Amino acid sequence: MIRIGAFLVGLFFAGWLLVSFLVGAVAFVTEPPAKTVEHEFHLNPKHVSFSFDGPFGKYDQAQLQRGFQVFKEVCSACHSLKFVAFRDLKGIGYNEAEIKAIAKQWAIKTPDVDPKTGEMSTRDPIPADYFPKPFANNVAAAAANNNAIPPDLSLMTKARHHGSAYVYSLLTGFQAQPAELLKEFPDAKTPEGLHYNPYFPNLNLAMAPPLTADGQVTYGDGTKATVDQMSHDVAAFLTWTAEPKLENRRRAGLATIFFLLIATGLAYMAYQNIWADKKKAA
Evaluate whether residue 109 is within a structural domain.
no
Q: How far apart are CA 147 and CA 281, in angstroms?
A: 83
Average pLDDT, the chain: 89
pTM: 0.82
Is the predicted pLDDT of residue 280 greater than 90, yes or no?
no
Do 168 and 237 belong together in one domain? yes
* pLDDT tens readout for residues 156-211: 999 999 999 999 999 999 999 999 999 988 888 999 989 999 999 999 999 999 99
Supply the CATH number for residue 191's domain.
1.10.760.10
| Claim to verify: residue 218 and residue 272 sit in the same structural domain | no
Are 156 and 167 contacting, i.e. CB atoms less than 8 angstroms apart? yes
Query: What's the domain range around 28?
Result: 1-33
The model's pLDDT over 114-161, given as tens digits with 9 standing for 90+, comes to: 677 767 777 788 999 999 999 989 999 999 888 899 999 999 999 999
Residue 132 lies in a domain: no
Domain count, the chain: 3
Q: For residue 77, is pLDDT > 80?
A: yes
Does 269 count as an annotated binding residue? Answer: no
pLDDT at res. 1: 67
236 in a domain, yes or no?
Answer: yes
Do 64 and 8 reside in the same domain of the chain? Answer: no
pLDDT of residue 81: 96
63 and 168 fall within a common domain: yes
